[in-house]
Structure 1
């Protein structure tokens, strides 16, 4: 499913699977699961601004942004320590933003931190790529 450049550790596989599940929850607008996943102090950086957890959940729940489908082309992961992991996804995102359906290539940075034995998403940053590479 994902290209592998090196052997993945169990911790890397766990976070990678959680990231993939997050994309599905976003597509399904499953704000209950996302509320559990997002750290209370999480930040979300989009082309239109930066905001926190509650606004991101409200945007998803209200349908202002509907993350319909994230085609994941590449995943890179860096374990900083047992409690902090950075993951990068190169994706093509099909989304509905307001009344418009749009497709954009992104490099998405996700920072996961372990809190009470659970992984929490602390940061989700979308960086639009100038040209898609599939």
Structure 2
């Protein structure tokens, strides 16, 4: 009985550590994504974005190819995403949702603009690599908090 309790306890600790490891991977990947967007590094983004990924912006929704074209041409240049808060939820070992509250400085239609957003990112692990399935911008006030 004592060994069973110890085994269950160690299994719970291991599962918790594993989930925390995934959460950290996703946080790092999301931060890299913002930098790749700022750098207009469409090769790295093309590898990250799932072929069926969707992107929801203030001005519309579109799929991977259009998002990459927008970034490459600079019609939206994600100059800087200042991340204020991040929360990650995992679902098993292959699915994660990340929410981050950001102040985004972007160059859009010839003007620099600054907006507050909560950005929702859905990730799925496929063949050992994390793929971004969805990225949705939600306009919020700068006092908005993400519940952890």
1:132 maps to which residue? 142
1:41 is paired with a residue of what secondary structure?
strand
1:26 maps to which residue? 37
Picking from 66, 81, 96, the partner of 1:70 is 81
2:33 is paired with a residue of what secondary structure?
helix
**In the TM superposition, what whole-angstrom CA distance separates every residue of 1:26-74 from its partner, at most 9, and x where no partner exists?**
0000000000000000000000000000000000000000000000000
2:142 is paired with a residue of what secondary structure?
coil
* Correspondences of 1:18-97 after superposition (within 5 Å): 18-97=29-108
1:87 is paired with a residue of what secondary structure?
strand
> After TM superposition, where is structure 1 displaced by more than 6 Å over at least 4 residues in a row?
none
What TM-score results when the alignment is normalised by the length of structure 2? 0.83
Please give the alpha-carbon distance, in whole angstroms, between the structure 2 residues aligned to 1:133 and 1:10. 29
1:3 maps to which residue? none
1:126 is paired with a residue of what secondary structure?
strand
Query: Which structure has greater strand proportion?
Result: 1
Note the aligned Cα RMSD (angstroms): 1.3
CA displacement at 1:81 relative to structure 2 = 1.5
Which ranges in structure 2 are unaligned for 5 or more consecutive residues? 1-16
Query: Which structure has greater helix proportion?
Result: 2
What TM-score results when the alignment is normalised by the length of structure 1? 0.92
CA displacement at 1:132 relative to structure 2 = 1.1
1:57 is paired with a residue of what secondary structure?
helix
* Correspondences of 1:7-18 after superposition (within 5 Å): 9-18=20-29
Which ranges in structure 1 are unaligned for 5 or more consecutive residues? 1-6
CA displacement at 1:133 relative to structure 2 = 2.8
Point out the structure with max Rg over C-alpha: 2
